[in-house]
Amino acid sequence: MDPTPAARVATNKQDVWTIVNEAAASSPIQPIINLGQGFFGYNPPPFIIDAAKDALNQVDCNQYSPTRGRPRLKQAIAESYSPFFGRKLDPNTEVTVTTGANEGMLSVFMGFIEEGDEVIVFEPFFDQYISNIEMPGGKVVYVPLHPPPEGATKNTSAGEWTIDFAELEAAINPKTKMIVINTPHNPIGKVFSKEELLRIGELCVKHNIIILSDEVYDRLYYTPFTRIATLSPEIDRLTITVGSAGKIFYATGWRVGYLIGPPHLIKYAAAAHTRICYSSVSPLQEAAAVGFEKADGLGFWDESKKEMKGKMDRFNEIWKELDVPFSDPDGGYFVLANLKKVKLPDNYPFPDQVKDRPRDFKLSWFLIQEVGVAAIPPTEFYTDANAYIGADWLRFAVCKNDDILDKAKERLRVNGEISTAKVQPTPISLPFSLASFPSMSWPALNYVIRGTCQSHRVRHIRAPANMQTIFRGRGRQAFGSQSSPLPESLPLGVPVDEENIPGYRYELKAKIGWGSSSTVWLARDICSGGWLKQNKYVAIKICTCNSKEEDIRHELDMNIHISYASTEHRGRAIIATAIESFGLDSPAGSTHLSLVFEPMREPLWLFRRRVGGEDMVTRQLLPLIKTHLQILLEGLDYLHSACHVIHTDLKLDNIMVTFEDQSIIESFVQGQAMHPMARKRVGDRTMYQCHNDFGQIDGNDALKKMYPKITDFGLAQRGDKPGPLVHPIQPNDYHAPEVLLGTGWSYSADIWNFGIMVWDLLGGQSLFQQNNPHSYSAVQHLAEMIALLGPVPPVLIQRERDMRHNAAESYGGPFFNNNGKFVREDLIPYTRSWRSEMPACIPEEEADRFFKFMRRMLCWLPEERATAKELKNNPWFDRKI
C-alpha cells in the first residue's frame, strides 16, 4: 500500500502547466510556439552574463551566502530602490534576498500567517499564492477584479479592470491578517492607479492589515507606476514589497528574488526564509548586484521597457487584424485576448482532464492542437465561483524573440483551412497623411492550405434555395495549368466515400458582376472561420462557355505567378489575385473554371461618385484620391519590378475598392435574404439580375479603412520573355502611341494607361475621345495626341517606318508618309490645350505640378516615361508644397 500524502498536495486535479505540456506533446503541429509560460526567449544582457561568469571564478561566490543575501546585492537593491521610497533604505534591516520571488512570498506567509488567519487576494491571482497561503494554515478570501463590460466586443486597456471597493470592504473582518496586491498584474497587466492603492492602503491602516505588494514586473510599466509603500509612512510600515531580479534581468531560471520592507516586518520573513532554504544561489546574487549597479548608467531600464512595449504592440497587431478583442496591458509582458467569438467544434475530442474544465481550457487545448500556439487559460487563476470572468480569455506571453512572435502571428492568422503563407503586418485602417505613406504596412494575401483532402470529392457550390442550378466540383487539373496550381482550401477530414460528403464548400448569395466571358457571385465559405469560426465571404468568378480554354489557362497562370512573385514588396497587397481555383461541372456537361477572390466593394469610378456625388473628383475629395493613386502606383511597381508583368488593361473598371468593414457584407447578405434577386426564365435557363450596390459609405472613419486594388489579369503579359511585344492591347481610349504605331511596347504602356486613367478619374471623361463612339479611329486618336503632346519625335516616326506592317495590320496604318508627315493633319484639333481642359478639382496653385506629373506619363517616347516607383514620389503628391 502506498503511503498517504498530505492533504495539501493530494489532489486529482491536474494543474494548468501539466495540461498545456500534454497538449503540446500530442499536437500534430510541431514545434509548438510556447507563448504560455512567462520565461524569456532570449538571454540577459551581456554585462550581467559576464558578471555571472566572473562570479563563478571567485571562491567566496561559490560558497553559502549569508542567509539574508550577499552584502553587495543587498546594498545594490537598497541603492536602486531608495529614490522610489524617498528615503535611504538600510540594506541590512530592510532588504532580504530570496530564492526567487515565489519563495520570498512563501517566507512572508510562513512568517506571519497562522491557522485561521485570512488573506485577501484579488482574482485572477498568481496560482502559487494559494498554496503558499494555505501551507501555514491560512484561509484565502477572494475579491474579483471586474473586466470592462465591452471587453468581449472591443479592445480595452488593463486599467479598465476595476475593484469594487464595497466587495473589498465586505471581505475584511477581524481575522483578516494580510492583503496581496500584484502590480503590474499577472495575468491582466493592470497597473493599479495611485487612487486605488491609496484606498487599499487606508483600509489596511484602518484595520492593521499587512500588505504584501507583489511588484516583480516593477520595471516593465507603460503607464504611470505607483508603489503602495511610498504613499504614506503609515502604509509603508505595513508593506512588504516583493521583487524579482530574474524577471527584470530576463533570467527567470536564476531564481533571485528579494523583499523590501520595514525592519519589524522583514525580520520575521527573513527568519522563515532561513528555515525554508537558508540561503540563495551565491554567484547569481553577485551577477544580479552588478545588474543593479550598472543598469541606470547603461539606460537599461528604459531600453528594457521600450523593447517589451514594442513586442507587446507588435504581437497585438494580430488581434487587430483578426478583429479579436484584447486587453492592452499597462505593464508586464502578458496580454489577454478575448476569444468569445471562437466556436469550438461539436464533439471535439478533448481529453478527460479538459472536458470538465472551464471553456478557456478547451480554447487553450484547441489552439495548441489546431494552430500550434500555446497560451494559458486564466481560469486557473480564479476560484470556481468567479471562473466565468476568465472563461473566454487566454493569456499570451510576449517575452520572446521577434521571429517567434511573428511565427505565432502567422499561425494565428489561420482562417478556415486557409492560412496566410507569407506574413506581412496588417493595419486596421490605412493612414491617409502623405508623411506616413512611405512606412505603411500592407495585408498579406497569399494563402496555403492546412490538411489533406481529396479535392475532386468536394462539391464546391450550393445555390440558395430559390436557385435551380447546382454545380459540383471536378478539380482544377482538367485545365492543365503550366504553373504549379493555386492551392485549394478544403474542409479537414472530408470522407472518401462520395455519399458521405458533408455538404458544399460555397453557398451563393448574390450575382454581383457579369461580362461576356464570366459571371461573378458573392458567396459564403461554409467551411470558413478556422479556429475563429467567423463567416468568410468570397467573390467567385465563374467562366462561361464563351471563354477560350487558352485564355482561361493564361488567366489562371498569371494569377499564380503574381501571387507568389515576392513576399517582401508591400505593393503585393494592392494586387487582387485569386486565392483559390476549381472546376465546375454544369448539368449540361460543360466544365467551367472558377476563381475565388477576396470580395471588393465597388470599382473606383463608383466610389468616386458615391463619395463626391459627381462623376468627377471634387476638390474636397482630391487629397483622398491622391493617396489612392499613390497606393495604386505601389501596386503597379510590384507588378513591374517584382512580377515582371504588364497589366495592359488598366482602366477605372479594373480598379476596385475594398470594403470598409465585414459588417457591410453581412448586411448586404441579410438584405438579399429578405429581397431575393430578380430573375427570369430564358428557355431552360434561369437568368439572375446583377445586384452589387452595397450602400452608402458612413463617414470619414469608414473612408480611411478603404483602399484600391488592381484587378483582372486576364490580358496581362510577361515583360521578361524574349522577343518584342507588338500585338494590340489596351482599351481604345487608352491606347499608347507605340501600340497604335506597332513599334513594340513594354511596362511603359501601363504608365501611359495610368496617366489616361488619372485624367479620366479626376475629370470624369477620357482625355482622348472619339467623334463617333461606336467606331474607333486610330488616326483620329493620334491626331488628338499631336494636339496635346506636340509633334511626333522623328525617332518614333523612324521606328514606325521600320515596323509599319504591324500598325497596318492592327490599326490601319501607316500614319506617316515617306517624309515623316502625319497623313491626316486635317484631323488635328489645334485648339485643344492642357490648361483649358484642366480637371476642375485641381487648384490653380497645383496646376503646374499636376501637368508636369501628367507629362511624366503621357509622352511620345516610352523610354522617357517615369516608372511607377518614380511616380509615387512625384512632387504633385507632396502636400507640404
The amino acid at residue 409 is: K
Alpha carbon of 163 to those of 72, 174, 194, 790: distances in Å? 39, 21, 13, 77
Per-position b or e across 667-697, b if 16+ CB within 10 A of its CB: ebbeeeeeeebeeeeeeeeeebeebbebeeb
Angle at 73 between CA 68 and CA 75, to 5 degrees: 95
Alpha carbon of 800 to those of 726, 750, 805, 817, 855: distances in Å? 12, 20, 9, 11, 22
> Over 120-145, what HEC string results?
EEEECCCCHHHHHHHCCCCEEEEEEE
* 106/101 Cα distance (integer angstroms): 9
Alpha carbon of 849 to those of 183, 376, 614, 801: distances in Å? 57, 57, 24, 35
Sign of CA dihedral 574, 580, 582, 586: negative
> Over 413-476, what HEC string results?
CCECCEEECCCCCCCCCCCCCHHHHHHCCCCCCCEEECCCCCHHHCEEEECCCCCCCCCEECCH
Instruction: Write out the three cell numbers for 524.
Output: 459564403
Binding site as annotated, residues for ATP: 541
| Count helices and strands in the chain by DSSP H and E runs | 28, 30
Q: Is the peptide bond before 184 cis (omega within 30 degrees of 0)?
A: yes
Asked if 823 and 807 touch (Cβ cutoff 8 Å), the reply is: no
Asked if 461 and 506 touch (Cβ cutoff 8 Å), the reply is: yes
> Over 727-766, what HEC string results?
CCCCCHHHCCHHHHHCCCCCCHHHHHHHHHHHHHHHHCCC
Instruction: Write out the three cell numbers for 103.
Output: 519563495
Alpha carbon of 714 to those of 183, 330, 598, 734: distances in Å? 59, 51, 17, 17
| Strands 139-146, 580-585: pairing kind | unpaired
**What dihedral do alpha carbons 353, 359, 361, 366 form, nearest 10°?**
100
Residue pointed to by grid coordinates 469560426? 533
- DSSP annotation of 93: T
Using alpha carbons only, how large is the chain's radius of gyration in Å?
Answer: 35
Asked if 745 and 647 touch (Cβ cutoff 8 Å), the reply is: no
* 767/784 Cα distance (integer angstroms): 9
* 742/801 Cα distance (integer angstroms): 10
Sign of CA dihedral 477, 483, 484, 489: negative
Alpha carbon of 316 to those of 3, 395, 532, 778: distances in Å? 49, 12, 16, 56
* 540/525 Cα distance (integer angstroms): 11
Binding site as annotated, residues: 541
Q: Is 513 helix (H, G, I), strand (E, B) or coil?
A: strand
CB atoms within 10 A of CB 473: 22
* 115/212 Cα distance (integer angstroms): 18
For the beta sheet containing 504-514, the strands, ordered from the edge strand earlier in sequence to the opposite edge, are 459-462, 504-514, 518-525, 536-543, 591-597, 580-585, 472-473
Query: For 319, what's the count of Cα atoms within 13 Å in the CB-facing half-sphere?
Result: 26
